[in-house]
Structure 1
Amino acid sequence: MRSAVLIPCYNEAHTVAKVVADFRRALPEADIWVFDNASTDGTAELALQAGARVHRVPAKGKGNVVRAMFREVEADVYLMVDGDDTYPAEHARALMQDVIEGHADMVVGTRLEQHDTGSFRRFHGFGNKLVRWSIGRLFGQPVRDVLSGYRAFSRRFVKSMPVLSRGFEIETEMTVFAMANAFVLTERTVPYGVRPEGSESKLNTFRDGFRVMRTIGFLYKDLRPLLFFGTAAALAGAASLGFGAVVIHEFSGTGAVTHPSTAVLAAALALTAFILLATGLILDTVNRRSNEILRLITDQVVHRGDGR
């Protein structure tokens, strides 16, 4: 099978040559691609010298890089790994095994069970747990590590996914996309190391954490519209019944409505609940038809790529 190692990089001059060399030894049959995201420290040149194929992506953001990787590279199995030398190359073949054998469309290298003391910055552990809990509750499938940058993909997954994220929320989008579209997702534990001295993380704890949580909310709305709008409709309906009960109780006792504003509010909430429910039903139908079209198109693209 054709295999490709995809390495997104932004100012990783301290580590990119070692990462390329490590994965060249671990997977000698694979094409090694470095996607340079407008680095200013010579990352692209060092990657070329190390023997990688380099593709430059001028639009900044990891999501933009992943979109370019999925669009430009042709293979049967893909391995994506960050260029910061925190993921061990010796686990690459094991990570790809489920995809090669057809048992999974995406395999995530989970880091949270085995990592060095300084692997995660302050609040990153809590953030990972919050994201993991949110996705498990909203999409009904528990995952151990949503934000890992070490993943293997099938061709079907890569050519199906319309990457919408621009930044570090891309891992969350890939995980949710797999869950929502019936792709098989598995996980393998891998040790997670510490960045070498002189190499700095580009992740902003609070800004990127907010973007990840916002992405989860938008994906839930887009991929589970009936549940999203149905929940809002149920809340509005319950509030309408509460305010309406007050008005009805008052009217049954006095024969008059002395709080017309409460009656108007109850009626408005009831109408809002109806509109929300109708919106959810319509969008759910549209979403199902869109998924059917996407899968048909993807099947044709994948088969053509295989020469069948």
Structure 2
Amino acid sequence: MATATDSRRTWGGAQGSIMTLIILILTLSLSPLPTQAQLKTDFYKNICPNVESLVRSAVTQKFQQTFVTVPATLRLFFHDCFVRGCDASVLLAGPTGKVEKDHPDDISLAGDGFDTVVKAKAAVDKDSRCTNKVSCADILALATRDVVSLAGGPFYQVELGRRDGRISTIASVQHSLPQPEFNLDKLNTMFSSHGLSQTDMIALSGAHTLGFSHCGKFSKRIYNFSPKNKIDPTLNLAYALQLRQMCPVKVDPRIAINMDPTTPQIFDNAYYKNLQQGKGLFTSDQILFTDPRSRNTVNLFASNANAFNQAFISAITKLGRVGVKTGNAGEIRRDCSFIN
């Protein structure tokens, strides 16, 4: 037969268990649902069933007009997601000098990326089942997948269900994007703030196998690196001298140079092979090989294209979840350049 003391112990234990359960329930109820659970690859199945083919057709047509479509769209997606989350805020127009795309880090975004989204949006809205039902943010995400594929990269499933943001400010871009002079610690800190690992960062950096940069972004590495070295010693000397020919001191610093000197129009793993040879255009590129903490991943991606492709798919999928608006948040813009 249980004594009074036994009863108090039992009740005390029960109280402890109940309190633990209550705390657990409260913790779960207050924790935000994971974003990836809100995005679905078949989000538009019953809303706009042809959305992927409509976007792909428009992007393919734009790609056939100019290859710049590829790096411009891919870079646009990255810049959008890193600033206010993947909400198409980078597309918003506004008073000069007031919105994201007016910031120096965004002002060099090629117009063909914006035009790709505009044309894809028009193609989607032309279908009566889809009119004003697909967000600009989702169209940009789909267009990004399509340009990667068109350039020879992997085709992957895109999670959908994002809504468009209503806010775009030039101030929000400040300190939000990785810079050409970043070292590994700064890169890791910035990417980890968005839930992206070092491997994700290295995989996403592989997008520099496409596109171009302006001479002003790396001129210090080839002319005035330090009092001791005019040329960055981590830079391949022959490559550095070639860059000097393409970027003379007194020539417009906005001259464009391919990020990948070997296969600039193919999405492949040549970027990592270039790093092994000291041909990373930015300090933030070359550091991935010179820093022993990241070198093994570079070597893996350089030797195994499939490993790179799979890592890129994982990383860009995670990037596409950053700061998204779903449910009743945001809106579905009728015009990607303006809030409704």
TM-score by length of 1: 0.28
TM-score by length of 2: 0.27
Q: Which structure has the higher relative contact order (CA within 8 Å, separation 6+)?
A: 2
